[in-house]
């Protein structure tokens, strides 16, 4: 009898298990625990058994250890409920509303403001350029010619002779000497004007000759060209 009691000696962990806890039971000898609806055998190996129950009351463990059959090894289980618990669920609280993040809205607002400022700047620049184009277009042909020649003289373009000849042809077109006329035809109508002939021929050579235009004092020729409107407009009016 004493030997049987010694064999059936077992220790529990935790000492006061609650509902749902994993209860480790160590026997002095290897043990085989019976299955039961009162508890769940989680694992058993050698003299160690792990069980658990979801019933809030003690249960009796049965099985065999060292050839000795046992049936009423009581495992204490305590309830997790408070004494005299009404079993009523706690009142639910409405979920706390998550505040809207401010950073994305700030970033979007800054980006939109920058885009508006950029479009406003582009619009202002385009309006200024349009007013300048309208001002140039509204100016008399002689003034447009002088402005173009003055700009070339101050900052000559890559093909300066060709640019000067083109500006002169545009001015001559406004005076009745069509832009579709060749250099020879223009000079034939103007009486082979020396300065106009020099400018137009240098421009033709720079545009079409593989050797380009002959060397010359562009600033001096451009300066003399500024006086052409004063020479040609009275003639055109008389014609």
What was the pLDDT predicted at 210?
85
What pLDDT was estimated at residue 239?
A: 42
Per-domain residue ranges of the chain: 2-75, 137-238
**Dist CA 32 CA 44 (whole Å):** 8
pLDDT (tens digit per residue) in 177-189: 887 888 888 888 8
For residue 33, the cross-strand partners are: 63
* pLDDT of residue 175 exceeding 60: yes
- What would the pLDDT profile of 42-65 be if each residue is shown by its tens digit? 999 988 999 998 888 888 888 988
Q: Alpha carbon of 67 to those of 4, 26, 30, 34, 238: distances in Å? A: 10, 16, 10, 14, 143
| Torsion angle of the four alpha carbons 65, 67, 70, 76, in this order, in degrees rounded to the nearest 10 | -10
pLDDT tens, residue by residue, 101-131: 888 888 898 899 889 888 888 887 777 777 6
């Amino acid at each position: 009898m004493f030997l049987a009691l010694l064999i059936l000696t077992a220790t529990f962990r935790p000492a006061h298990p609650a509902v749902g806890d994993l209860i480790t039971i160590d026997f002095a000898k290897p043990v085989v625990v019976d299955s039961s609806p009162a508890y769940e055998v989680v694992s058993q190996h050698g003299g160690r058994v792990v069980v658990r129950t979801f019933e809030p009351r003690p249960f009796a463990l049965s099985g065999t250890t060292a050839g000795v059959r046992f049936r009423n090894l009581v495992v204490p289980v305590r309830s997790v409920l408070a004494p005299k618990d009404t079993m009523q669920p706690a009142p639910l609280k409405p979920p706390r509303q998550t505040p809207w993040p401010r950073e994305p809205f700030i970033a979007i607002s800054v980006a939109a403001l920058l885009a508006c400022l950029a479009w406003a700047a582009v619009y202002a620049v385009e309006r200024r350029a349009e007013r300048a184009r309208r001002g140039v277009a509204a100016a008399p042909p002689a003034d447009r010619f002088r402005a173009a020649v003055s700009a070339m003289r101050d900052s000559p373009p890559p093909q300066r002779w060709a640019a000067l000849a083109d500006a002169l042809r545009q001015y001559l077109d406004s005076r009745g000497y069509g832009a579709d006329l060749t250099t020879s035809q223009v000079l034939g109508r103007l009486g082979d004007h020396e300065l106009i002939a020099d400018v137009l021929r240098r421009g033709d050579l720079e545009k079409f000759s593989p050797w380009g235009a002959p060397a010359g004092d562009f600033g001096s020729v451009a300066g003399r060209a500024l006086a052409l409107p004063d020479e040609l407009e009275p003639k055109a009016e008389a014609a």
